[in-house]
Amino acid sequence: MSKRKTTFTLITTVIALIILFNFFGLLTPLKRGVFFLIDISVGRISGVGDYFLYKKELHQKKVDLVLENHQLEEKLLQNQVDTTRLELLDEENKNLRAQLFFFEKFPSVHIGAQVVGRTIDPLETIITLNKGSVDNVYIHNPVIISSGILIGEVISTLPHASMVRLINDNTSKIGAMVINGDKSIGLVEGGYGLGVHMNFIPQNEVVTPGDIIVTSGLTEGMPRGLIIGKVEVVEKQPHEPFQQAILEPLADLSHLTTVSVISSS
Amino acid sequence: MRTVLHILFISLLGFGIFTSNIFLKNILSFPFNTLNISFVFLILLLISTHSGKVVWLSFITHLLFDIYSASTFGIFLCAGTMTMLIEYWLYQDLFTNKSVWTLIAMTASGLVIFRILYTLGILFTEEILWADVLIFYLWEMIFSLILAIISYEVAKVFFNRA
């Protein structure tokens, strides 16, 4: 027990002396030496530690950047979706405004419809609308877009849907008229979705590229004056009684979204 | 001459323990940096050597901590050395064997005594945020015990093989 007491006293005394020495600044040389050693060893070790920390931070930054990049990619995609939607809405808006403007000048019963489908048969160019007989859509009703540009006619109806044969379908036949001096009359026919031409134009009448073709009003259910397209090329053979014009439709028939059906009722 | 070499060896070992502690504090993040490697090493050394020199080793190590620390001089020195002295006596009278349970009991009791003495030391000089301090002590206890057990098992395998 006395040994322990001695040990305790010795240690306490040494500690007290050390604290006392420190209080009077006698430990300063020792501190300097220790700090010198600490600077050499711990400084370098801290450097290693800093290196690991730097690596860790770098890794964290990398992870953050990947995450941020992923979020930005998602945002970009969302923006692209929004832009596309906006562009489509803008186009639809323009189309609807043009249709509205047309019907202000051309008063008639009309039904706005969305194109909901297109035939997959390569020999047919037929689209499906989301309006049918319930909405007063009938067979032979003309279908227009924009400011009265004819795109086709209704060929069959269901209560809530209807089929429209486009003017470039090979079975499409519409009475038409050239806006020229002679007001030449002919028949606009489609060609397997690839083009539109106007046949049976009298040989002696002058048709030139750029002339506008409109409906003549001679086809059942088709009012006069709906624009079909413009003449691109005129084919004329001296030995034939009629000349032919290849037309450029004014509507993009492959990208239709919103149309109006002019109802006969 | 032998005594001088002994003192030099103990001083170098103390410096080694101190730098290891600083190194781990630098590279590990919270709560792993709460690990008290110096205490674990001193306890392991005490159990394996059963020598009172460990108390002087603790003295050197904690003196370095005090020099390096910004808190009032003497707190680490007093708390660390006195704790190791008490642990030494406890090992002589109470725990006596070299089992893992002794190691756990000594590490836990050592940390508790050290932190009580340390807290008493800083109580009058610094403002203590008790919640943070207690969380720190708890983590220190957990990680130090884990390290002590792992070191013990590794040392057991190593020395048995040797």
Q: What is the pLDDT of residues B1-34, one digit of tens each?
A: 777 887 787 777 887 888 788 777 767 777 887 8
B68 neighbourhood in chain A, CB within 8 Å:
38, 42
Any idea which of A82-86, B27-31, B119-123 has the lowest mean pLDDT? B27-31
pLDDT of residue B20: 80
| Average pLDDT estimate for A147-164 | 88
Q: Which residue has the tokens 């109006």?
A: A260
At residue B162, does pLDDT exceed 60? no
Q: Does A48 touch chain B (CB under 8 A)?
A: yes
Alpha-carbon distance of A203 to A225, in angstroms, equals 23
Alpha-carbon distance of A189 to B106, in angstroms, equals 102
pLDDT of residue A193: 60
User: How close B32 comes to chain A (CA, Å)?
Assistant: 14
User: Is residue A186 classed exposed, middle or buried when 0-12, 13-18 and 19+ CB atoms within 10 A define those classes?
Assistant: buried
Chain segment A211-234, per-residue pLDDT in tens: 899 998 888 888 888 889 999 888
> pLDDT exceeding 90 applies to what percent of chain B?
2
- Boundaries of every domain in chain A: 1-105, 110-265
| Other residues' Cβ atoms within 10 Å of the Cβ of residue A123 | 10
Q: Does B55 touch chain A (CB under 8 A)?
A: yes
Looking at the domain A110-265, which fold is it? Thrombin, subunit H (2.40.10)
Q: Which of B26, B55, B67 sits opposite A46 (nearest CB)?
A: B26
Q: B10 by DSSP, 3-state: which? A: helix
Ranges of beta strands (E only) in A171-211 are: 173-178, 185-190, 196-202
Q: A143 by DSSP, 3-state: which? A: strand
Is B41:B27 a contact under the CB 8 Å cutoff?
Answer: no
Alpha-carbon distance of A20 to A27, in angstroms, equals 9
At residue A43, does pLDDT exceed 70? no
Ranges of beta strands (E only) in chain A are: 110-118, 126-129, 142-145, 149-158, 161-166, 173-178, 185-190, 196-202, 212-215, 227-235, 242-249, 258-262
Alpha-carbon distance of B67 to A48, in angstroms, equals 22
Q: Which residue has the higher pLDDT, A143 or B16?
A: A143
